[in-house]
Amino acid sequence: MLTVLGIVIGVAAVIAMLAVSEGASFESQQQFRDLGATSILLKSVKPAEVEESSNRGFGPPQAVIYGLTQADILTIRNTIPGVSNVIASRIVKKNVWNLGLSMNTDVVGTSVDYPSSRNYNLRAGRFFSETEVRDHANVVVLSDEVANELFPIDNPIGQTIKIDSDYYNIVGIMESEGFSNLGQNQAGSSNSAPSRIFIPFTASRSRFGETTTRQTAGGMESETVELHEAIIQVDNQETVIQVGEIIEQILQRRHRDVDYAIEIPLALLRQAEASALRDQIVAGAIAGISLLVGGIGIMNIMLASVTERTREIGIRRALGAKKKDIIAQFLIEAVILSGVGGLIGVVLGIIIPFIISTFWGMTTIVTPIAPILAFSISAMIGVIFGIYPSMRAADMDPVEALRHE
């Protein structure tokens, strides 16, 4: 079976590589779907050097100030043409209570456009209104996960939850998000299922202030962050990447440290597509070489078989086999040989992506077309590399072949 090893590797490589690149493009498309083609995501990121300098000080911990500010957002909104909307959010980690039940969750202070900016829909009730934002109203919208946790039996809408010492009226519940994880849990540590609640941006500022304190391994740590993230919506898909570059320049000028991050889903998608193409070229080259080697292996074994069976060819010719009968016989043998290799390759090619997803957590998708394509290629290899040995067999002189020992 060593003969068909090349075919096995080639076919397995084709399927596995296609599965990996298909998975990668699926992931980037997922992000793309969540945020849309016309969005830019800004995040506050704690710069490394700030963290160090704060630890060196004496006395009570000083609040670390970093991240995006309202002024940044204002500048972006007012100076860049083509920016249609900016949805800024503050994310504070809090314990949220419903009577005896509590859970630690991200409290997202945001504006009314938050759901539409992320294709994120309500399951029940409504999102808070402009008026409520203006009034710093104590209203809250729960994520599906939080609603299920704090209100396992009754309908939460119309009821209240308690954060710190304040009560908030529940006006709506978002639908479950699944495992989409872009831009969530900014202030939190764990990054599993999204557990979030949403309150008006104004309420977040006036209730929680701008400084948050959290427990870390080194002791208490305070940080002051005006905004944790912002979604900038651009009115035209064509200009998204340019707007992103302008934003980058503005932020560079306004910030001493790089305490922000910019993500452009469209650019990520383009990048993913480019790297998928590169992957596919590399995969194609590997598969091509393996299949070529495999084909030559097949040709070798077939030539040996033809020589070994010269006598048989002579007998068959004497008994009425035409040249094309002999060609057919040896071609079928070559195709069976490469087909067996192809089948083993298909099995491996389906197992390998499964192993990759299990052990490296990469998304892999084996589309039905990949094994079919790879198997057809292996059968074709059998035909192509079987032709020459078969012709040699058919072109033998029957008299000579019969005399062969």
Partner 1 sequence: MTIIETNSELGTASSPGLASGSRVASLQDIQKTYYMGSLSVEVLHGINLDFYSGDYISIMGPSGCGKSTLMNILGCLDQPTAGKYFLGDEDTSEMEDDELSTIRGARLGFIFQSYNLIQQLDVLENIEMPLFYQGYSEKESHEIAMGLAARVGLQDRVDHKPFELSGGQQQRVAIARALAVDPLVILADEPTGNLDSKSGLEILNLFDELHSQGKTLILVTHSDELAERSKREIKLMDGRVESDERLHA
**Per-residue binder mask for partner 1 (CB under 8 A), 369-398, x = binder:** -----------------------------x
**Helix 240-254 / helix 70-79 crossing angle, nearest 10 deg:** 140
Q: Select from 316, 330, 385, 390 the one that contacts partner 1 (CB under 8 A).
A: 316
Q: Among residues 54, 102, 23, which one has the least CA distance to residue 222?
A: 54
As measured in angstroms, the least distance from the Cβ of 333 to partner 1 is 12
Q: Select from 325, 354, 355, 358 the one that contacts partner 1 (CB under 8 A).
A: 325
Q: Select from 122, 250, 303, 321 the one that contacts partner 1 (CB under 8 A).
A: 321
As measured in angstroms, the least distance from the Cβ of 308 to partner 1 is 11
Between 123 and 324, CB nearer to partner 1: 324
* 311 binds partner 1, rule: CB under 8 A: yes
As measured in angstroms, the least distance from the Cβ of 323 to partner 1 is 6
Tokens for 278, please give them.
């590169």
Between 263 and 333, CB nearer to partner 1: 333
**Helix 323-360 / helix 5-35 crossing angle, nearest 10 deg:** 50
| Pairing between β-strand 139-142 and β-strand 166-174 as defined by DSSP bridges | parallel
DSSP 35-86: H-TTEEEEEE---HHHHHHHHH--SSPPPEE-SB-HHHHHHHHHHSTTEEEE
What is d(CA 137, CA 245) in angstroms, rounded to the nearest whole number?
36
Between 27 and 312, CB nearer to partner 1: 312
**221 φ, ψ (degrees, to nearest 5):** -145, 130
Q: Select from 52, 191, 319, 359 the one that contacts partner 1 (CB under 8 A).
A: 319
Could you tell me how many residues of this chain bind partner 1 (CB under 8 A)? 17
Q: Is 322 exposed, middle or buried (0-12, 13-18, 19+ CB in 10 A)?
A: exposed
Q: Confirm if 310 and 341 have CB atoms less than 8 A apart.
A: no
* 322 binds partner 1, rule: CB under 8 A: yes
Between 182 and 332, CB nearer to partner 1: 332
* 402 binds partner 1, rule: CB under 8 A: yes
As measured in angstroms, the least distance from the Cβ of 341 to partner 1 is 22
Tokens for 359, please give them.
């052990």
Q: Confirm if 4 and 294 have CB atoms less than 8 A apart.
A: yes
* 304 binds partner 1, rule: CB under 8 A: no
Tokens for 2, please give them.
């060593």
Q: Which stretch binds partner 1 (CB under 8 A): 114-122, 276-284, 308-316, 383-391?
A: 308-316
As measured in angstroms, the least distance from the Cβ of 179 to partner 1 is 57
**Per-residue binder mask for partner 1 (CB under 8 A), 16-35, x = binder:** --------------------
What is d(CA 172, CA 121) in angstroms, rounded to the nearest whole number?
10
Between 196 and 316, CB nearer to partner 1: 316
What is d(CA 84, CA 233) in angstroms, rounded to the nearest whole number?
6
* Run of H or E residues at 29: helix 5-35
Q: Among residues 323, 345, 392, 321, which one has the least CA distance to residue 15?
A: 345
As measured in angstroms, the least distance from the Cβ of 320 to partner 1 is 2
Residues that bind partner 1 (CB under 8 A): 311-312, 314-325, 398-399, 402
